[in-house]
Structure 1
Amino acid sequence: PYCARAMEVAASLCQTRAHAEILPEHWLLKLLELGEGDLTVLARRYEWDMDAIWQDLLAFLDTLPRSVRSRPQLSDSIQTLMQDAWLHASLAGEEHIRSIHLLMALVDKPKLAHCDGLWPLLTLGQGQLERLRPLLDAQSDERPEVQQEAELAQNHGGEVEFVGSQVGAGIKEGELTPALQN
């Protein structure tokens, strides 16, 4: 859900900027923007210069060619990243991709991302990332219980359920409601 939301927003960003393909950089930018996900928790822990990473991502996206197409397509690199992240998630016994899985996939194949400013993310090894799971499971908005709450809120979002009968139900046209008869 968290990474899926970020992907939806990345696709919108891509369309707004008239980019033909959704790249890992679009997705990473939106993952960083969403809030307290795995990447943000790691960035705080290792004191990465988030503003510099953010600016480098934006500068990279500004260099991309613009084309007027109906919808941006998933790039080969993002498809590979998604598949590799899914493999990491599956091996960990998880049902959803988290941004730590994306980071693990990027560490395995750093050439999937082309923005030079992402180097701090690639300094962590697989073993280090695995050891950081308890921290992420305690602090990240991507932890399962927070995602379950978000899913429930989305499924029931904004709907108000009334208990009892609908106001005015059973009253014929032209009659006064019992509350108004006095």
Structure 2
Amino acid sequence: MSINLKTLISKLDDTCRQAAERAANLCMARGNYEVDLEHLFLALLEQPQSDFVLIARRSGIAPEALERDLNDEVGQFKTGNARTPVFSQHIPALFEHAWLIASLDSETTRIRSGHLLLALLTEPDLAQLA
């Protein structure tokens, strides 16, 4: 199944939509070529009341440690892009799987950051990247 990216973005809640925008800005500021999962989760860490941050804290994971690790990963990405970056293939896959979780399992109308995390951990192709 392949759902249009614009449609998937429209399914994001405000927190996730803002994080997606912030992820693109982070990518541009660093001169990366693609907005990837690390950019998105870094942006979610900036929102202390997001499900992602609350789940991390509840699991005994310091958001600061996650931020450090994600920044280390992003620091290894190819740089030098002066144009508008594109979303990597992983972002639509994450949004699509999260939408399935949100709509079918949670019976909600919006994708929350908890759905994004669950999608990352349960979709085999994405879980390899976690």
Compute the TM-score of the two structures, normalised by the length of structure 2: 0.81
Instruction: Flag the 1:38–1:23 CA change in 2: closer, same or farther, 3 A.
Output: same
Counterpart residue identity of residue 63, structure 1: Q
Counterpart residue identity of residue 107, structure 2: G
- Whole-Å Cα distance in 1 between the matches of residues 29 and 69 of structure 2? 19
- Whole-Å Cα distance in 2 between the matches of residues 114 and 107 of structure 1? 9
- Whole-Å Cα distance in 1 between the matches of residues 77 and 127 of structure 2? 13
Other-structure match for 2:36: 23
Q: 1:103 aligns with which of 117, 125, 130?
A: 117
Contact 1:106-1:112 at 8 Å conserved across structures: yes
Contact 1:10-1:27 at 8 Å conserved across structures: yes
- Whole-Å Cα distance in 1 between the matches of residues 107 and 29 of structure 2? 36
Counterpart residue identity of residue 62, structure 1: G
**Corresponding pairs, count:** 116
SS for the counterpart of 1:25 is: helix
- Whole-Å Cα distance in 1 between the matches of residues 99 and 25 of structure 2? 23
Counterpart residue identity of residue 57, structure 2: R
Runs of 4+ in 1 over 3 A off after TM superposition: none
| Structure 2 unmatched runs, 5+ | 1-13
1:89 CA displacement: 1.1
- Whole-Å Cα distance in 1 between the matches of residues 65 and 126 of structure 2? 20
1:114 CA displacement: 6.9
1:69 CA displacement: 3.8
1:94 CA displacement: 1.4
Q: 1:38 aligns with which of 51, 62, 71?
A: 51
Instruction: Flag the 1:48–1:27 CA change in 2: closer, same or farther, 3 A.
Output: same
Other-structure match for 2:4: none
Counterpart residue identity of residue 111, structure 2: I
- When the two chains are superposed, the root-mean-square deviation of aligned CA atoms in Å is 1.7
SS for the counterpart of 2:110 is: coil
Counterpart residue identity of residue 104, structure 1: L
Instruction: Flag the 1:41–1:33 CA change in 2: closer, same or farther, 3 A.
Output: same
Compute the TM-score of the two structures, normalised by the length of structure 1: 0.59
- State the structure with more CA Rg: 1
Higher relative contact order (CA 8 A, sep 6+): 2
Matched ranges for 1:136-175 at <5 A? none
1:49 aligns to 2:62 (yes or no): yes
Sequence identity, in percent?
37
